[in-house]
């Protein structure tokens, strides 16, 4: 990937082989911001799980103490808990008709676009035909991420308040937005340390050894810095 002049100029200012403290990395990213918008801060965690083994998938949910700074559009698909979804503040409450929008691609653009799809159990068989569309986008409701539930009020409120879902990719890496560059340094540190600690709770039972092997921190447009925790 070819980077622009501003990125290359910033990249020359730090040692890519050095292990930085969280505080040092956050300060560097803030002082060397290259874009005009409020960039997200992202943590990238290399783990020891074997992504090819189904019993070693690292997947779950946790709540960041200070949220991500990003407003997520939450859609609830249900035929039984519509009132609860509306009361909890879901951005949209939909039914069977939304499945046709997913099939046609209309559910991912404009006013229908969403970041999280929460479903009540009776909708899951109906969503099965579009699993191959939602899955690759990371939008398929799943009990492991608590997006298949009858506790609609609690779930929507938690997701609006800073609850995040995570999973490892094919390289055994977990990527997660943990705030914005505009956050206070202390809040970013707390979000990051809280998230990394929460991963340990989801360590696969059959995985031996240390779970986390390497951590790096970056901003949306910034450099990636190796972190020593």
* CATH number of domain containing 122: 3.40.50.790
188: pLDDT strictly greater than 60 = yes
22: pLDDT strictly greater than 60 = yes
229: pLDDT strictly greater than 80 = no
3-state secondary structure (DSSP) of residue 22: helix
194: pLDDT strictly greater than 80 = yes
63: pLDDT strictly greater than 80 = yes
Q: Which domain holds residue 148?
A: 74-161
Q: Do 62 and 78 have their domain in common?
A: no
Q: Do 79 and 105 have their domain in common?
A: yes
Assign 1 a pLDDT band (cuts: 50, 70, 90).
Answer: low
> How far is Cα 86 from Cα 97, in angstroms, rounded to an integer?
18
Q: pTM for the whole thing?
A: 0.78
189: pLDDT strictly greater than 60 = yes
Q: Do 131 and 88 have their domain in common?
A: yes
Asked if the structure places residue 5 within a domain, the reply is no
Encode burial over 207-227: b for 16+ CB neighbours within 10 A, e otherwise: beeebbeebbbbbbbbbbbbb
Q: What is the mean pLDDT of residues 204-216?
A: 91
Length of the chain: 229
Q: Do 112 and 130 have their domain in common?
A: yes
């Amino acid at each position: 990937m070819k980077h622009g002049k501003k990125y290359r100029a910033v990249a020359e200012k730090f040692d890519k082989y050095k292990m930085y403290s969280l505080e040092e990395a956050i300060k560097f990213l803030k002082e060397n911001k290259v874009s005009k918008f409020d960039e997200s801060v992202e943590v990238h965690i290399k783990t020891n799980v074997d992504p090819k083994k189904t019993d070693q998938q690292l997947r779950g949910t946790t709540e960041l103490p200070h949220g991500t700074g990003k407003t997520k559009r939450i859609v609830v698909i249900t035929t039984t808990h519509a009132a609860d979804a509306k009361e909890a503040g879901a951005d949209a409450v939909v039914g069977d008709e939304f499945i046709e929008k997913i099939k046609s691609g209309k559910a991912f653009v404009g006013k229908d676009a969403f970041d999280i799809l929460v479903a009540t159990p009776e909708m899951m068989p109906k969503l099965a035909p579009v699993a191959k569309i939602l899955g690759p986008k990371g939008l398929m409701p799943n009990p492991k991420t608590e997006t298949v539930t009858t506790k609609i009020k609690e779930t929507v409120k938690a997701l609006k308040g800073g609850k995040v879902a995570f999973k490892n990719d094919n390289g055994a890496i977990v990527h997660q937005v943990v705030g914005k560059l505009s956050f206070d340094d202390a809040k970013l540190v707390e979000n990051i340390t809280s998230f990394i600690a929460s991963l340990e709770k989801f360590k696969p039972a059959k995985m031996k050894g240390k779970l986390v092997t390497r951590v790096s921190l970056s901003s949306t447009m910034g450099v990636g810095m190796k972190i020593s925790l």
